[in-house]
């Protein structure tokens, strides 16, 4: 079974995270906070298990270690961010998952061009891509609607530092991995090259690759990419505030009707 962009299956893939949210809401509607948090931990572990299975399959295909097997991509890290966010009740990790990983994962669902390169999606790589991204978006939204995500400007500021730090660290990591693993392209956070078929290609073409202190990168592209990433963070913080305001208005209406 192969994947085709904008096919009925692709549209089902796009709405799958929201179907998961509805399913989770129905299954766990009577659970207390502790049970919900443990459920979040287990769901995150499922995402990590899918990732491990994917990496084992890649290793047996290539018979060598390569950057694809090291879980440092935005959506790969999301599984670990969610796991430790639920485990530690960490607001910064929840904020990073909601404001950064969620939109990145959803964009990977909408622009799922890389799936068209698979000879079949009925393997660990294909299933990990499909279920992994759907779980990230679904679990983050489910956590929000269950009141487990709490953001304010102080938390947002720390989130910005986390995201900015990961962007610049990825440049160094990408260069080191391509030096240590010749023949492979390391592209964590897409700071080496943009994902094919996405608007990021326009940003990349605005600059040129250069070498500074032994590191190869496109500085204009990196800065524009960082601006896009931070804009998404602030946009989803605004979405969080808007949704909270809507929920408070609805709660007030329900209380008035009840009285």
Q: What is the pTM of this model?
A: 0.91
Cα torsion for 95, 96, 101, 102, to the nearest 10°?
10
Residue 217 token pair:
């990168």
pLDDT at 40: 96
Q: Answer yes or no: are the C-beta atoms of 106 and 74 closer than 8 Å.
A: no
pLDDT tens-digit map of 29-39: 889 999 999 99
pLDDT tens-digit map of 73-86: 999 999 999 999 99
- Residue 139: CB atoms within 10 A of its CB come to 28
pLDDT tens-digit map of 86-141: 999 999 999 999 999 999 999 999 988 888 888 888 888 899 999 999 999 999 99
Per the rule left: phi > 0, alpha: psi between -120 and 50, beta: everything else, 214 is left
> pLDDT band for position 250 (50/70/90)?
low
**255 pLDDT exceeds 70?**
no
């Amino acid at each position: 079974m192969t994947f085709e962009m904008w096919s009925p299956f692709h549209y089902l893939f796009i709405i799958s995270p929201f179907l998961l949210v509805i399913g989770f809401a129905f299954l766990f509607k009577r659970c207390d906070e502790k049970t919900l948090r443990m459920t979040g931990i287990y769901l995150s572990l499922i995402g990590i298990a899918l990732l491990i299975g994917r990496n084992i399959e890649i290793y047996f295909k290539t018979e060598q270690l390569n950057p694809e097997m090291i879980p440092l991509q935005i959506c790969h890290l999301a599984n670990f961010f969610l796991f430790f966010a639920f485990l530690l009740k960490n607001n910064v990790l929840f904020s990073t998952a909601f404001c950064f990983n969620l939109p990145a994962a959803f964009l990977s669902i909408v622009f799922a061009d890389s799936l068209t390169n698979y000879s079949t999606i009925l393997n660990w790589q294909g299933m990990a891509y499909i279920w992994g991204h759907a779980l990230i978006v679904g679990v983050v939204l489910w956590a929000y609607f269950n009141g487990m995500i709490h953001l304010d400007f102080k938390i947002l500021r720390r989130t910005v530092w986390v995201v900015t730090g990961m962007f610049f660290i990825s440049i160094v990591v990408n260069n080191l991995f391509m030096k240590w693993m010749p023949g492979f392209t390391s592209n964590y956070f897409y700071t080496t090259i943009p994902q094919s078929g996405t608007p990021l290609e326009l940003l990349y073409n605005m600059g040129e690759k250069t070498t500074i202190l032994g590191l190869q990168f496109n500085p204009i592209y990196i800065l524009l990419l960082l601006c896009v990433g931070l804009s998404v963070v602030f946009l989803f913080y605004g979405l969080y505030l808007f949704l909270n305001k809507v929920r408070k208005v609805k709660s007030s209406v329900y209380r008035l009707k009840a009285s």
